[in-house]
Amino acid sequence: MRLKYCCSLFFLLGASVFAQNAKPEILPYLNGVISIKEGMFEAGAEIKINSLIIRPYFRLPMTDKKNSISEIDRFTETWASVIAVEYTKDNTRPNGPVRRFRGTFQGEWGYSDFKYYPTGDKTEESSEARNSFGCEIKLVWFSSQGKESARQFSPQIRIRYSNEWKSSDEVGVVGPPNNNGVVYTTNMVIDEPKALPIFSPAFSFQYYPGRGNFSYAPAVYFDLKGKLNSYNPFNNLGRIRIELWTFFYPIIEGNPNIKIGAAPFLSMRAFGKDGLRPVEYGAQLGFRLGTTFLQFF
């Protein structure tokens, strides 16, 4: 692993821990929000009105696609403006069980200017400006008896649709021989950008046994991808993915917002064709910052 990668990664992790609490109060119902997480810089505002929270903010990638040092799962080639609306209903009663519900809707819009060289000559540049968009719904339920060492349950649903433009891959273009007869190749993008529509419903069931530093979270994803440069995500490829997560919390008291997870996974192709086998399996590790105790999505 390169030293640059290690140093940059530790810097981002440290900045991310610091940024989770960066919510300076501007007005009684208005806070500023600044965060650095998962390779993204986010800044905006948080408006709280009773059980409703509104978060308008913008998101920028901290590195470009050729020099990404922290790409995890939200890396994008475009900047994006985001509006999120969150509603919370607390049905907890004094000396009774804890019951909470939280629903979130999020809309995203982004812009990027893509450059490519259709003739394979860097003196003949073409560019296209494209807009990407997405929307997401999250529904979270939480239940516990509200007693010490009581078990905690949290079923969660996430539904997301996105249509994001991305640059085509670079290819090697063979140039003419130089004066010594040497032929060389230059890597460049020769194809126009492409948009891929994706629809991804997912379900997870979070469980904490009431004691210890571990929680458990089976999760199921159904990822649907449409044809390039279209809006329909249902006519090309579908894969089902099952993950069985175990999370370890180094700090269990107070507000444990750091957790380390490991999970075996199984990915099965439901229809269509891709570059993977019909059935893929393996394991993965995860490190999450700034989440609530049983938050998954």
pLDDT tens column, 52-79? 999 999 887 765 544 443 333 344 456 7
Amino acid 255: pLDDT:
59
| Residue 81: strand, helix, or coil | strand
**Distance (Å, whole) CA 214 – CA 211:** 8
The larger pLDDT score, comparing residue 40 to residue 63, is at 40
**Distance (Å, whole) CA 75 – CA 68:** 9
151 phi and psi angles, rounded to 5 deg: -70, 150
User: In which band, very low, low, confident or very high, does the pLDDT at 241 lie, cut at 50, 70 and 90?
Assistant: very high
**Distance (Å, whole) CA 65 – CA 202:** 27
Is a pLDDT exceeding 80 seen at residue 50? yes
CB 130 within 8 Å of CB 112 = yes
Amino acid 187: pLDDT:
87
Q: How many CA within 13 A on the CB side of residue 30?
A: 6
CB 67 within 8 Å of CB 61 = no
**Distance (Å, whole) CA 110 – CA 32:** 21
Location of structure tokens 């919370």: 88
Going by the DSSP 8-state scheme, the letter that residue 7 receives in this structure is: H
Amino acid 1: pLDDT:
37
User: In which band, very low, low, confident or very high, does the pLDDT at 13 lie, cut at 50, 70 and 90?
Assistant: very low
CB 173 within 8 Å of CB 188 = yes
Is a pLDDT exceeding 60 seen at residue 5? no
Is a pLDDT exceeding 70 seen at residue 96? yes
User: In which band, very low, low, confident or very high, does the pLDDT at 185 lie, cut at 50, 70 and 90?
Assistant: confident
Give the ranges where 39-96 is alpha helix by DSSP (H): none
Instruction: DSSP for 124-137, please give it.
Output: S-EEEEEEEEEEEE
User: In which band, very low, low, confident or very high, does the pLDDT at 253 lie, cut at 50, 70 and 90?
Assistant: low
The larger pLDDT score, comparing residue 212 to residue 269, is at 269
Mean pLDDT comparison of 89-103, 174-188, 231-245, highest-scoring range: 231-245
The pTM of this model reads: 0.77
Amino acid 72: pLDDT:
35
End-to-end alpha-carbon separation of the chain, Å? 30
Q: What is the pLDDT of residues 260-284, one digit of tens each?
A: 899 999 999 999 998 889 999 999 9
Report how far apart, in Å, the C-alpha atoms of 240 and of each of 200, 203, 266, 267 are: 10, 12, 8, 6
Kindly report the average pLDDT of the chain as a whole number: 82
